[in-house]
Amino acid sequence: WDCTVLGTSPPEKIAPQVPKDKAAGTSLFCFMVVTQNGYVPPGVAAGYENGLVDGLRKNKLGIFACEGNKVYEGGHSDVGEWRSISNVLVFIKVWDQVKGDGLYAQHDWTVKVDADAVFMPDRLRMHLSNLRPPADKPVYLQNIDFKWKFMGALEVLSKEAVNAFAENKGKCADHISTNGGEDRFTAECLDAAGSWHMTDFALLNDKYSLPPEFPLNLNDVSRCTDQANVAYHPYK
């Protein structure tokens, strides 16, 4: 290495807000991934995801309040660097299923939601209506003001962005580290594939959206009264 500067990062591709008649629709295909005997957070009973999914399906809440929905079977992940879950390769296979069954293509947006996230599709539709992303463009939504600005509890991609990711995820896996979280990998792959993004930091209420001085408490529900958020994720 001789520290020669070979170039700079590509400019951000920020999608413009367009007039209502040129904006994408708000039809949602929503999915979650459940892994039998998978990783269990501290203080949580094994198999907790199954009960959550059953309750949501019975009451037509969360992903089951979207125009299209599906629950995919996940695989087991290893613990990667910094004690985080290294689940990139697992989710590449999940996205293969999403692309393969083609249900997402019948809707404007594909939304991946963690099973333990409280997700309100009607609020997401309202946010999308206010954002007015351009129709027929690969766009994903940055959802939180933390590092790479895209956390996995709520991932929102336009149909075209799903196509871009599906077409390029193999190349991305060859050049972007897969030893880490699928959310960062997905965002970096979408950027590399030329996707646009828009920013709405009110989408997700997660521990990473907390101010530094806020105590981390898995049982704290005080912020669930904030009606600006689309999804709430446990502070685990």
Q: What is the CATH classification number for the domain harbouring 95? A: 3.90.550
pLDDT attached to residue 126: 98
pLDDT attached to residue 201: 96
What is the domain count for the chain?
1
Residue at 14 is within a domain: no
pLDDT attached to residue 1: 53
When mean pLDDT is compared over 102-106, 180-184, 214-218, the highest value belongs to 102-106
Domain holding 111, by residue range, is 20-232
Residues constituting the chain: 236
Residue at 10 is within a domain: no
The string of pLDDT tens digits covering residues 184-227 is 999 999 999 999 999 999 999 988 777 777 767 777 777 788 89
Give the residue-averaged pLDDT of 60-76.
93
Query: In DSSP terms, which residues pair with 232 in a beta bridge?
Result: 118, 205
CB 190 within 8 A of CB 112: no
pLDDT attached to residue 36: 77
Q: Nearest-5° angle of CA 68, CA 24, CA 20?
A: 135
